[in-house]
């Protein structure tokens, strides 16, 4: 996961492991009741999802951006602890903010005023299994011309967010990027390491709205 945390999954009780469905807002994932990920204060139940790693990264970003209750500084400390790969350093960071960890784990903690901070497993540890990425998922006839907000990212240029139609060709989308980013060179577009071909419709690719498309400028 984008948190960069190392996943330490205990497989000792794998034969008797049970998986249950869990919902966090609009995200559904599966909890392994007898498997553990992480070390020290970062231990959580192991979890898996049918979503791709990139989609989960977006959910993590959304989680941190929507924390409006409690102390903002505490939320920042919790976020820093989540991306800290060393569990001892993560715990030290939280103790510096006088947080009390429930049962010694950061998944639930309390500040000095008694306010509780709950973290879902997916922001602390990576999944033991993600959904597979399918580059092309729909035939042209299945594309309905819906709006898609895509973020185009390339070295040396600020991210460019563009609204495109799902029934537009990749070639047209490239032209829109060049116009918005004021780029003269020809470009190549990539998603999940696969190049998007000019002749295909952008809506044929597995690109949820808000997804990042990598842009490479041709020499």
pLDDT digits (tens, 9 = 90+) for 70-116: 999 999 999 999 999 999 999 999 999 999 999 999 999 999 999 99
| The CATH number of the domain covering residues in 14-124 | 1.20.225.20
Classify domain 140-217 by CATH number. Answer: 3.10.20.90
Long-range contacts (CB closer than 8 Å, 24 or more residues apart) made by 155-160: 157/181, 157/183, 157/215, 159/212
Sequence ranges of the domains in the chain: 14-124, 140-217
Q: Tell me: the pLDDT tens digits for 50-82?
A: 888 878 888 898 899 999 999 999 999 999 999
Reported confidence tier of residue 205, pLDDT bands at 50, 70, 90 = confident
Q: What local confidence, expressed as pLDDT, does residue 9 receive?
A: 39
Interstrand relation of 116-118 and 187-191 (parallel, antiparallel or unpaired): unpaired
Q: What is the pLDDT of residue 4?
A: 34
Mean predicted confidence (pLDDT) in 189-212: 86
Report d(CA 59, CA 25) in Å as an integer: 10
Residue 191 has pLDDT above 70, yes or no: yes
The two structure tokens encoding residue 146 = 């819906």
pTM, two decimals, is 0.59
**Predicted confidence (pLDDT) per residue in 133-182, tens digit:** 666 667 888 888 889 899 999 888 889 999 999 999 999 999 999 999 99
- Given this chain, do its domains 14-124 and 140-217 carry the same CATH topology? no
| d(C-alpha 215, C-alpha 159), whole Å | 10
């Amino acid at each position: 996961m984008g948190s960069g945390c190392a996943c330490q999954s205990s497989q000792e009780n794998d034969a008797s492991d049970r998986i249950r469905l869990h919902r966090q807002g609009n995200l559904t994932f599966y909890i392994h009741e007898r498997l553990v990920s992480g070390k020290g204060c970062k231990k959580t139940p192991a979890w898996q999802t049918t979503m791709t790693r990139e989609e989960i990264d977006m959910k993590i970003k959304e989680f941190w951006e929507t924390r409006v209750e409690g102390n903002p500084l505490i939320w920042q400390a919790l976020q820093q602890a989540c991306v800290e790969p060393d569990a001892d350093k993560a715990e030290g960071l939280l103790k510096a903010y006088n947080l009390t960890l429930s049962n010694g784990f950061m998944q639930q903690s309390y500040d000095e005023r008694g306010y509780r901070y709950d973290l879902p497993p997916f922001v602390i540890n990576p999944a033991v299994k993600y959904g597979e990425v399918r580059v092309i998922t729909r035939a042209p006839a299945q594309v309905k011309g819906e709006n898609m907000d895509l973020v185009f990212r390339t070295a040396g240029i600020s991210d460019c967010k563009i609204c495109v139609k799902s029934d537009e060709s990749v070639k047209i989308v490239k032209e829109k990027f060049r116009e918005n980013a004021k780029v003269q060179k020809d470009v190549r577009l990539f998603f999940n390491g696969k190049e998007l071909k000019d002749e295909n419709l952008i809506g044929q690719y597995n690109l949820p709205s808000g997804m990042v498309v990598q842009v490479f400028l041709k020499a």
